[in-house]
Chains A and B, each alone.
Chain A
Amino acid sequence: MAFEDQRTTVYKVDPAHPESETLPTLRTEELLLNMGPQHPATHGVLKVILELEGERLVKSTPVLGFLHRGVEKLAEDGTYHQFIPHTDRLDYVCAMYNNFAYCRAVEKLMNITVPDRAEYLRTIVAEVQRIIGHQFWLGTQALDIGAMTVFFYCFRDREILLDWFDELCGARLTTSWYRIGGVERDLTSSLLDKLKQFLDYFPPKIDEYVIFLETNRIWVARTKGVAVISAEDAVSFGLSGPTLRASGVDYDLRKAEPYSAYPKCEFSVPLGKNGDTYDRYWIRVQELYESVKIIRQCLEQMQDGPIMADVPSVTLPPKQRVFTNLESMIQQFKLFSQGFDAPAGEIYCGTEAHKGELGFYIVSTGGGKPYRLKIRAPSFIHMGAFDHMSRGYMIADAITLFGSYDIVMGECDR
């Protein structure tokens, strides 16, 4: 949608009605509107300064940083193990995937191979987290746009999985279940049963969400053709995840740089055509079905085995041994107080979280602490395209737009 970036517009007198010439010429001025940071639809504390001409957006300037906590600076002060709980607080809706991305980066730095069973467990839990993330997104996006029912249905089903997380690691949101070299504990038989039950229960529920939304004319009108971005621009802006794939760009790190148990699973990566909000929604819904498929395959293929790599200088000893065995206790204590000796070098490791590519760039100069740790947060990079994507649309579409990024300010501001 082309939109002339004019500061003021002077409406000419209509030649068909020359009598109007006696009226003074109408002159309109653009209006500056502050949206947020205290606004229920800004998903936290996002502030956007909107320049409006009537109800159309001429320019929008995101003001970020209200949730900036200096996580990258904190990382330089702690050991590698100590940073795992900090990653929970980045994207606090989907803590598991942050843990996963961070642990993968450190494993790449330390050159550790994770045992098979741990890889399957990681993939299962990561996909459960993806389902939670997409449910959360679908519910809140529908609520923002004005479809309330779906919100309740999504959150009802999300609650089942959060309780499952609670049983798995003792926390619903800030989980810290992943460890460098493996995972903290295995799935119990009760957890496996509950997960299998959920997998049978869930796909019909996705159909239900879809029926609720696709038969809702408001939802369709407010998403189709809104906030379109071309494939070329999406790539140039560095968008990732469903936001990029909605424009038809086939870029999913699970396929492009296969990791964990993903290469052993069969799944497809849904691609959009139009790059509008509707396609971003459609891709996320399709990914829910794909996630169920991946979890099913992992549960079938998973064999018994160790859940932690056996590299005593880096990985933590099993918790039971820490309480009964002196050497294990010393090992645990040393790993947490001094850390392990990382080789000097630098790596970047990206992981396909449900929002997009969550990457960690770690520079090490040896020793137990990272020299520099940079987090590539998809929400932050998506906000960079906000001005470009919002120009020319209505003010209400701004809400649709940053909702469709699946933005979480904890990750955006770090």
Chain B
Amino acid sequence: MSLQQLASQLQDTFPVGLVKAVEWRGDLAVTVTRDRLHEVAQFLHDDPAMDFDYIVHVSSVDWPDDEERFEVVYEFYSIKKRQRIRLKTRVPESDCIVDSLTDLWKGADFMEREVYDMMGIRFRHHPDLRRILMPDDYTEGYPLRKDFPLRGKGWRDTFEFLDETAR
């Protein structure tokens, strides 16, 4: 199945939820509305014509000027059909929560936790949504957001060091 066929089949199956499908540099990226994300993902995973059984990565992009600020990006691969697809959805900052896909791909567990840790997007029905790379007691927010300064917000400067000269 070519990428155009794949895109048009998705369009036919989900005439409402699908926002746009873009093909660029040989990658197909499909944007869906947030409430249809799990449904579309389930179709991609379960339908024998699709058969996207392998999860490649889960990522997120911050667009601070947009109304729906965050973009959650899933990338799937079909080992049998040797095909990739990127599934995206947008969430506003005031209510940044999407349905977790951990019930479809087990690997989504850690990947979604990383997105939560780095960008602060929560995942509904995720079994264990905690910070993963940053410390559990980290209070400065979400480091990959665009309004987070590169040098951090000063948390590192509060570490207590042993004064070696006072001996």
Q: Which residues of A contact B (CB under 8 A)?
A: 64-65, 68, 70, 72-74, 76-77, 108-109, 111, 233, 235-239, 249-251, 256-257, 345-348, 350, 357, 359, 361, 363, 371-372, 374, 376, 380-381, 383-385, 388, 413-414
Contacts and interface: CB of A to CB of B under 8 A. Distances in A.
A373 to B, nearest CB: 10
Contacts of B132: 64-65
Interface of A (DSSP majority class): mixed
Nearest to B62: A372
Given A348-B86, A371-B61, A238 B107 contact: yes
Given A233-B106, A357-B56, A381-B111, A347 B27 contact: yes
11 contacts: A65-B135, A73-B148, A77-B150, A109-B25, A350-B56, A372-B62, A374-B73, A376-B56, A383-B110, A388-B106, A414-B133
Contact of A359 (B24, B56, B79): B56
Nearest to A110: B25
B54 A235 contact: yes
B61 A384 contact: no
Interface size range on B against A: 35 or more
Contacts of B150: 73-74, 76-77
Interface string B126-157: 00000111110000000110001010000000
B84 A346 contact: no
Contact of B143 (A70, A77, A238, A239): A70
Contacts of B56: 238, 348, 350, 357, 359, 376
B58 to A, nearest CB: 9
Between B26, B56, B57, B148, the greatest number of chain A beta carbons within 10 A of the residue's beta carbon is seen for B57
A256 B82 contact: yes
B25 A347 contact: yes
B53 interface: yes
Nearest to A360: B57
A235 B53 contact: yes
B105 interface: yes
B59 interface: yes
B109 interface: yes
A377 to B, nearest CB: 9
Contact of A237 (B107, B131, B144): B107
A388 B127 CA distance: 14
B24 A65 contact: no
B82 to A, nearest CB: 6
Given A359-B56, A380-B114, A236 B61 contact: no
